Amino acid sequence: MRLWILVFAAGCLAGTAAAQPWSGIQNPAGVNVSLTLVDPHPFRQGELMVIQMQPPEWTMGPPQEQWEVQGVLLDPPVTDCGSVAKPCIEPGRMGGLRGGPPRDTYLNRWLPPLPPGHYRAALLEKKFVITQRDAGGLAMGYADPPQFAVSNPVELEIVKATPEWTQRTIVGAFVTLRTQAKSQESYEAQEKAAEQLRFLDGPDAWRASLALFPQAERTLRQGLENTRDPAKVCELMQARISAPDQPVSSGYLWTLQAACTRARVPPPPQTPTQPLEARISATPPPPAVLQPKVELAAYFQELRAFQDDLWRKSASTLASSLPQKEAVVKTDAFRTLLEYVREHHDPAPPWASEMTREFIAWWPSVDVPSRHSMLDLFANTIHSPEVIPLLESVLDRWKPGNYYEAAHSAIAELNQIDPQRARARILAEMGKPESWLDVRQLDLLSASAVPPMDDALIDALAAAQRPPGWNPRLRMAAIAKYATPRALARIKAIYESQQDPCQPELMAYFVRVDPTYADRVFHSHSWDMHSPPPRCTVQYFQRTPPLAMGAPIEKYMDAYLMHEMVFVKTTAAQQLGRYGSPEALGPLWDALRYFHDWWKGRQAELEKDGEGVHLEAELRNAIARGANWFATESDLRKLEALCTSGQCVGNSREDLAAWQQPILIQFTGYPDGWRGGVAQYSGLDIDALEAKLAQFPRGTSFRVMAGQADPATIERLLRFGSGRGLSIVRQ
């Protein structure tokens, strides 16, 4: 130990006497960068090196310059990095690390594996200039010419790691991670153990990491992805896919892909680069113009083919191993395979049918906490009649006290596979005194599919309102949607006998069947915009329109757009945007103009009023993105001119940017399938998407990204556009 202290001290003195390669960098006044090595001692190769770093504070306000950590400097530099021109950076990090309070981290994250020797290390900072461009945002870029700052150096002594130390350290990290954490200290110990195992880059460490999955998976995957020997990691991970005790997540396959790509695919051909400028602005940047690079395009096409083939083979291997997978890892395997099917949008892979049968056989043994998520994922991925017995068994086995979620997933999927069978199940549930059925499931059952059943609906409500009672709100919602006009007198009597005067679901029935009566109820109090509204008002706004929308409730919400309570008019604006008729546009425009005049010249004051900013955004969004009308590019420009807050301006500019032709048609995955979006409209099923496209002028150009939705949906859109005089191209 005394010898090490003398050597280390000699190194420090030598470092003081000899100039570092970066000694020419003079830190500007007031710019201090601190680097401290915690517990300095001779570090074995792969041993964690804990440091405390404190870059200069980074803020969005003045002064209009900031600093970013660019990486670590080394003296002497290594082959890959360490110089000012090429500092060592953390693999996978995009951009610099900004300042903040002192924090502990691991120097290993920044450095490649170092050969034994003595080094000095320091943090390199680069000036980042912030310039105010306009009221909507900021433009940022590095100072030109570049300006740097550097921290104090720390001394590192790296020695060779013995096999005994490496094996002992791997075992210690494994045991720590396998022990259940019960305190903050034990959680921190596990985090440190995962980091240590990550940097012990060798076969024993790889096998230990894979055996620990999914625990600390994110950290351990980083070690596998950045290994010095990707070919061996690739081989090991491929071989372990079918191991009965090996958890295989989607992250596992992504890591396998990263290692195999590094091992078997050469780096891309070099192309000229341009200086990077980062922008934070309410004004979206113009779309990038990509210059054709034939060689680069061919490279990435081959890369994609390699990776797709790797995924197909890995998924097939995993599917074939399902019968042998142990129970504790089977959930991960099914989840990974289902995510693969959802992600790739291909026709069902050859193993899908066998996986379905295996899932059905496995389902009874699934632990209760996992049942809903697994059934939801499975039911929204595999749309096969083979699944119907499983779905119906979930519904049949439900009993009061069970979770509702699994039954709700089952009926939603049954509706996709066999709508007639699903409607029959919902009808049967409506007559039961206790049921998994809830208001949301009524959306699956149209009024035209329900035979006259006034007596049954009214009897079910009466039973629900007697102790012990079961979901009276569901019974009232069923009356709102399905009761006929012949039951009007009885339902009026029920409504007028309620102890609670607020009955939004029954009011939906009157909006649909007797608008005059509904209007009379809504006018049963003074519409005083300066007095607190009755507590029923907001309930009517929130719960009546989803069941029935008509003139009485729409006029009620129109009027309250001018109420002095912000929450009331915000709720009215939201619901009019979702359910209002085109006649609601006039009151919405009037409310936004009034808002604009009220806050004119007081933008700074408005920005401090969170409720006011939210109200303006909801008024604007209702006009711009309303479900039952069409806002043109000209309308969006008028909205931008009326906006006062930065959020409103930003939303308008975002919508306007989406109008740049060819307009992008996008698809997003939802639990119940894919939804489309075009221009400023989103969350549309295919029928609603076509209805919205039909509102664009003939000759409008669109583009749709192949692979974002299934091929049949893309082909349907192309045919629809052709028939409507719209140009829709597939990219």
Which DSSP letter does residue 449 get? G
Determine the 3-state secondary structure of 674 from DSSP: strand
Distance between terminal CA atoms of the chain?
66
CA 452, CA 441: separation in Å to the nearest integer? 19
Asked whether the beta carbons of 267 and 303 are under 8 A apart, the reply is: no
The DSSP-derived string for 538-580 is: HHHHHHSTTT---HHHHHHHHHHTT-S-HHHHHHHHHHHHHH-
CA 415, CA 421: separation in Å to the nearest integer? 7
Which stretches within 351-503 are classed as H helix? 352-362, 368-379, 388-397, 405-417, 419-430, 454-464, 472-482, 488-496
Which DSSP letter does residue 400 get? T
CA 508, CA 541: separation in Å to the nearest integer? 11
CA 521, CA 353: separation in Å to the nearest integer? 56
For residue 200, what are the contacts with CB-CB under 8 A and spacing of at least 6?
Answer: 46, 166, 169, 170, 173, 223
Determine the 3-state secondary structure of 4 from DSSP: helix
Beta bridge partners of 730: 704
CA distances to 194, 403, 474 from 464, rounded to whole Å, are: 55, 20, 9
Low-confidence ranges of the chain (pLDDT < 70): 1-19, 55-65, 92-103, 130-140, 271-293, 345-346, 669-673, 706-708
| CA neighbor of 307 nearest in space, from 343, 272, 335 | 343
- The pLDDT of residue 346 is 61
CA 117, CA 8: separation in Å to the nearest integer? 12
- The pLDDT of residue 93 is 61
Q: Phi/psi at 648 (nearest 5 deg)?
A: -65, -45
CA distances to 81, 348, 358, 384 from 355, rounded to whole Å, are: 48, 11, 5, 12
CA 373, CA 387: separation in Å to the nearest integer? 16
Residue type, 83: S
Q: Which two tokens stand for residue 135?
A: 């009221």
Widest CA span in the chain: 100
CA 319, CA 203: separation in Å to the nearest integer? 26
Q: Phi/psi at 65 (nearest 5 deg)?
A: -150, 145
- The pLDDT of residue 143 is 81
- The pLDDT of residue 727 is 92
Tell me whether residue 115 is exposed, middle or buried, using C-beta atoms within 10 angstroms of its C-beta: 0 to 12, 13 to 18, 19 or more.
Answer: exposed
Determine the 3-state secondary structure of 46 from DSSP: coil
- The pLDDT of residue 9 is 39
pTM value? 0.74
| CA neighbor of 668 nearest in space, from 608, 708, 726 | 708
Buried b / exposed e along 466-492 (16+ C-beta atoms within 10 A): eeeebbbebbbbbbbbbbeeebbeebb
Using H for helix, E for strand and C for coil, what is the string for 336-385? HHHHHHHHHCCCCCCCHHHHHHHHHHHHHHCCHHHHHHHHHHHHCCCCCH
Asked whether the beta carbons of 348 and 341 are under 8 A apart, the reply is: yes
Determine the 3-state secondary structure of 37 from DSSP: strand
Asked whether the beta carbons of 215 and 197 are under 8 A apart, the reply is: no
| CA neighbor of 602 nearest in space, from 644, 540, 648 | 644
CA 299 centroid distance within chain: 30
Residue type, 540: Y
Q: Which two tokens stand for residue 552?
A: 């009485």
Asked whether the beta carbons of 692 and 678 are under 8 A apart, the reply is: yes
For residue 159, what are the contacts with CB-CB under 8 A and spacing of at least 6?
Answer: 42, 43, 44, 45, 116
CA distances to 18, 228, 264, 327 from 303, rounded to whole Å, are: 47, 21, 10, 35
Would you tell me how many other CB atoms lie within 10 Å of the CB of residue 202?
18
- The pLDDT of residue 272 is 59
Determine the 3-state secondary structure of 497 from DSSP: coil
Q: What is the domain partition of the chain in residue ranges?
A: 2-159, 663-730
CA 188, CA 288: separation in Å to the nearest integer? 44
Residue type, 499: Q
The DSSP-derived string for 187-219 is: HHHHHHHHHHHHH--SHHHHHHHHHHTTTTHHH
Which DSSP letter does residue 164 get? H
Asked whether the beta carbons of 66 and 86 are under 8 A apart, the reply is: no
| CA neighbor of 246 nearest in space, from 200, 197, 207 | 207
Q: Which two tokens stand for residue 413?
A: 């999927």
Beta bridge partners of 37: 51
Would you tell me how many other CB atoms lie within 10 Å of the CB of residue 727?
14
CA 258, CA 234: separation in Å to the nearest integer? 8
Asked whether the beta carbons of 576 and 622 are under 8 A apart, the reply is: yes
Asked whether the beta carbons of 265 and 306 are under 8 A apart, the reply is: yes
| CA neighbor of 306 nearest in space, from 339, 262, 350 | 262
Asked whether the beta carbons of 57 and 93 are under 8 A apart, the reply is: no
Q: Which two tokens stand for residue 200?
A: 């012990």
CA 641, CA 461: separation in Å to the nearest integer? 51
Which stretches within 643-693 are classed as H helix? 646-657, 686-693
Residues in the chain: 731
CA 22, CA 71: separation in Å to the nearest integer? 13
Model pLDDT for residues 396-417, shown as the tens digit of each residue = 999 988 888 889 989 998 998 9
CA 730, CA 36: separation in Å to the nearest integer? 55
